[in-house]
Amino acid sequence: MNGFELTGVEATKIMRIPERVVRACKREKTYKKHPWPWYVYGKRFFEGLGAQFRTIDNREEMLLCDVVYAVDDYRPCGIHKQRSIGIRAVEELCRLPELADAIHDYDDEDIWNGPVIHLVTALGMCLIRCQQIEHYIAHSFLLGISKEQKAKYNTINDLRAGWKKKTLGNMLLCIQEAWEIDPTVKAGLELFVESRNRLIHGLTTDEQFDIRTDWGQRELWAFLYFFDIHSRIVKKAFRASYYASIHFAIKKWGLPRGAPKRIFSKRRKDELSLFAEFFSPKLDCI
């Protein structure tokens, strides 16, 4: 067992290895040193199995068969299981007796039937859009060019991390330190913050919008329909600031290695013009 006693090892079957992957592994230069079936070295083997890869907070992750692994290096003891996701995670949770009992013991009125399920879906869509808007703002470093913000953060990444911790209202106040905002746009942003806070904090339990009553449901439809249109406009404004920040970074520091040379489509260039319509920098911040 590759140097271990049988009593000291444990094997978990993940998936069947296709013959084409075995043949590809045998063609590797390291195969003579580590013949099959030996420890696997290198990322290419996992690519052959259909694994997906991403880097979050400078930590590489690999997804294989609904299991996420943290990767220090593609070599023995360099890959560690982090968590299950998707249907595999659901199946594992369902096998826990404590949760199986809880499903029955705590079953209540949170079952949405008929047209109410569409309200719940609309609420979810609006919530996602709020998160997208806050993501665009936090990553639009051009919005944080005031002296006050520059003094707080040393790098662009520091600013992004700091702004992610702010409330939406606080982010807008920080933007106003450096930018003159078109009055109509400013009024629209203030209304959006008010509506967004109402959406996040207890909208469906408010007497006016009580989702458990027919009247409240109809009130919700009117609110969500307007919020859907309003939030699309706000999202477009801050998406423009996001792409304006990217455009400025490319002009200032050049394209990152591996980035496509044609990074802006005509639509994105139109958004840059939109940014200039909505925001103009204060003189002391230029």
For residue range 254-279, list pLDDT tens digits in order.
776 766 666 666 666 666 666 766 77
Contact present, 49 and 21 (Cβ < 8 Å): yes
* Contacts of range 273-278, beta carbons closer than 8 Å, 24 or more positions apart: 274/236, 274/237, 274/240, 275/237, 275/240, 275/241, 275/243, 275/244, 277/182, 278/181, 278/182, 278/185, 278/237, 278/240, 278/241
For residue range 76-90, list pLDDT tens digits in order.
788 999 999 999 998
pLDDT computed for residue 208 by the predictor: 94
* 12-16, 53-57, 115-119, 218-222: range with lowest mean pLDDT: 12-16
* Distance set, CA 282 to CA 79, 144, 176 (Å): 50, 12, 9
Give the global pTM: 0.76
